[in-house]
Amino acid sequence: MLDDGTVAEIDRLAAPVMRTPRVGDAAQIWRIAKDSQVLDTNSSYAYLLWCRDFTGTSVVAEVDGRVVGFVIGYLRPESPDTVFVWQVAVEQAQQGLGTGTALIQHLLDTVAPHGVSVLETTIAPDNPGSIAMFGSVARRRGAELAKAPMFDPELFPDNHEAEDLYRIAPIDLEARK
Ligand SMILES: CC(C)(COP(=O)(O)OP(=O)(O)OC[C@H]1O[C@@H](n2cnc3c(N)ncnc32)[C@H](O)[C@@H]1OP(=O)(O)O)[C@@H](O)C(=O)NCCC(=O)NCCS
């Protein structure tokens, strides 16, 4: 009989299943965002809407039936060849195991056949984990990673850092590693 600690470690190391979010996942997505202490926590209602209306551009990672990570995004209305990643997060215990990269790769595999060739996201300058993860995705796709200023702190009504735009292109299914 395995003890609880061993079972938890086996779960942690299990390869997550990537799937489309359902409305019933929104509460757990909200919890992961809140617990990350890095992301802006949007209202629980916003995550419900996302899990209803943007499932084609969002993915959850599940281990042993539990959602441990998510990415939510949308196609830019003015540039439908571009998927904008709004938020991505992985539970702390599951970080560093490739789940974040796998979520983004799964998203790109889903949208690329529909003509999406660009990924955009914004990242605050003090988030090395996120910068490293998107850098890793760009390398694995053989794509360029370009950075440009986007939202200055003065644009935010609250105390918010700058958000830089990161652009990964071209997204090419053939080049996936
Ligand atoms: C960013 C985040 C989603 C990465 O998820 P993850 O599952 O830990 O990432 P991965 O294990 O797939 O790692 C991807 C790459 O980034 C690197 N990396 C991950 N976290 C890192 C860190 N804190 N510092 C430096 N490098 C890091 C890994 O070494 C790996 O590089 P490699 O592919 O060259 O080996 C996760 O750290 C997280 O949820 N952070 C809090 C929320 C957040 O910041 N979201 C992004 C907002 S823009």
Where are the chain's structural domains?
A: 4-175
Please report the pLDDT score of residue 174 as a whole number: 73
Using CA positions, which residue lies closest to atom 42 of ligand 1? 89
Using CA positions, which residue lies closest to atom 14 of ligand 1? 133
Report which of residues 96 and 173 the model is more confident about: 96
Atom of ligand 1 nearest to the CA of 90: 39
38 lines ligand 1 (CB under 6 A): yes
Write down the CATH number for the domain with range 4-175: 3.40.630.30
Distances 45 to 16, 32, 60, 157, 160 between C-alpha atoms, Å: 26, 15, 17, 21, 22
Q: Name residue 72's beta-bridge partners.
A: 58, 87
Please report the pLDDT score of residue 14 as a whole number: 78
Rounded distance, CA 125 to CA 36, Å?
A: 17
> What SS3 class is residue 114?
helix
- Ligand 1 pocket: which of 36, 85, 95, 151 to mutate (most atoms within 8 A of CB): 95
Residues 6+ apart with CB under 8 A from 72: 21, 29, 47, 50, 54, 57, 58, 85, 86, 87, 88
Report which of residues 3 and 76 the model is more confident about: 76
Query: Exposed, middle or buried, 59 (CB in 10 Å: 0-12/13-18/19+)?
Result: buried
Q: Where are the alpha helices (DSSP H) in the chain?
A: 4-13, 26-36, 44-53, 99-111, 128-141
Using CA positions, which residue lies closest to atom 34 of ligand 1? 136
Question: Does 157 sit behind a cis peptide bond, omega within 30 degrees of 0 on the bond before it?
Answer: no
Average pLDDT over residues 106-111: 97
Using CA positions, which residue lies closest to atom 37 of ligand 1? 129
Average pLDDT over residues 136-158: 97
- Is 122 in contact with 164 (CB distance < 8 Å)? yes
Our measurement of the distance from residue 55's CA atom to the centroid of its chain's CA atoms, rounded to an integer in Å, reads 13
Please report the pLDDT score of residue 29 as a whole number: 98
> HSE (CB half, 13 Å, CA atoms) of 114?
13
State the residue for tokens 């796998």.
102
Please report the pLDDT score of residue 8 as a whole number: 72
